[in-house]
Structure 1
Amino acid sequence: MTAHEEDSFEKMNESLVDVFNNVMWIEEASLRKSRFKDISIKDMHTIAAITMYDTRTASQLSQTMHLTPSAMTSVIDKLEKKGYVVRTRDSKDRRVVRIGLTHKGRTVFRAHEAFHRGMAHSLFDSLEEGEAPVVEKAVGDLQDYLHELIQF
């Protein structure tokens, strides 16, 4: 790596760390200041994993969230008690319990989604013509790398 490439790499590394830390801090601070201050960022990401109008089983959520089934059950119990999620029996197989969002859960889901879409718009709107495919590829490659790390 040339000195210029090394310098570029270090700047990119610092920027990625800064972006990650700021996103996490802003998400947590936004929750604390909102009417949804009774949930944590982990709770918020669980709500996001359920999605707006779909349902998930606890097992599906535990895989998505990389939590043990018992830890996921605790998160779901807490969210249900606070009115963000509801458990329902599957109409085709009554043994299966599905988790869905309540009106309150969908409201916080929309707020969280708006935050993320705002970040994407900020990045996208700053791009020059022709840069979008390059950035899209770089973000996709980073996403692939992170997915590989999750597979451990």
Structure 2
Amino acid sequence: MEAYDVLNSILVNLFNDILNIEEKALITEEFKGISVTDMHIIEAIGVMEQRTMSKIAKSLNVTMGTLTIGVNGLVKKGYVERNRSQKDRRIVYASLTVKGKSAYVHHMRFHKDMINSVINDVTEEEAEILTRTLKKLEDFFKKLKD
């Protein structure tokens, strides 16, 4: 039962720490006006091309209403811009402004540093085991979400 208790403690602490540490790491002086939730919307919009609001909502597993509220705030703060499709005015696209792209890069740097801190000191075999184990955890959460 010791392994169960250790894993339970690690997972509970990790979930709490990731949320708290991510907030402290991401919301710097430059990005003090936005929340971690805002950063996750920015991440979901991405830097490659404008995405439809419906695709962004689906990727975040939130309603269109919830996403609209978040995007409205990011538009006001200058991180996101919205445009209607010229072919179908019902379709709304969101894309990042220069300021939004800067926030995106900042967020991705945090994730890169987090992952590198884990994989830098493990063997390839350990990395494969960790990946398989975390995939099982991800699958568990996906089943609960659906």
* TM-score above 0.5: yes
What's the Cα RMSD here? 1.6
- 2:122 maps to 1:122: no
Among 127, 136, 140, the alignment partner of 1:141 is 136
Q: Identify which of 47, 62, 82 aligns with 1:52.
A: 47
Matched, 1:86 2:64: no
Task: Confirm whether residue 34 of structure 1 aligns to residue 22 of structure 2.
Answer: no
Shift of 1:64: 2.2
Identity between Structure 1 and Structure 2 (%): 36
Matches within 5 A, 1:96-107: 96-107=91-102
**Any stretches of 5+ residues in structure 2 without a counterpart?**
none
Q: Paired residue for 2:108?
A: 113
Q: SS of the counterpart of 1:88?
A: strand
CA distance in 2, matches of 1:107, 1:91: 28
Post-superposition offset of 1:72: 1.3
Tell me which of the two structures has the higher relative contact order, counting C-alpha pairs closer than 8 angstroms and 6 or more residues apart: 2
Pair 1:7 & 2:2 matched: yes
Moved more, 21-30 or 31-40: 31-40
1:42, 1:70 → 2: CA distance? 15
The normalised TM-score by structure 1 is 0.87
Aligned to 1:3: none
- Cα distance per residue 1:60-87 (max 9 Å; x no partner): 2222223222221111111011111111
In the aligned structure 2, how far is the partner of 1:129 from the partner of 1:99?
39
User: Aligned-pair distance for 1:94?
Assistant: 4.1
Report the number of matched residues.
146
Tell me which moved more, 40-49 or 141-150. Answer: 141-150
Q: How far off its partner does 1:125 sit? A: 1.0
Cα displacement (A) at 1:128: 2.7
TM-score, structure 2 as length reference: 0.90
- Does structure 1 retain, via aligned residues, the 8 Å contact 2:26–2:107? no
Take 1:71 and 1:26, find their aligned partners in 2: how far apart are those partners? 24
Q: 1:129 to 1:99 in 2, by over 3 A?
A: closer
1:75-122 Cα offsets, whole Å, 9 max, x none, are: 111101111111123355443210011111111111111111111111
User: What SS does the corresponding residue of 1:15 show, helix, strand or coil?
Assistant: helix
Q: CA deviation at 1:54?
A: 2.5
2:145 corresponding residue in structure 1: 150
**Distance in 2 (alpha carbons) for counterparts of 1:32 and 1:51:** 18
CA deviations on 1:5-61 (whole Å, 9 max, x unpaired) are: x11121111111111211110121234433111111111111111112232222222
Contact 1:53 1:101 in 2 (8 A): no
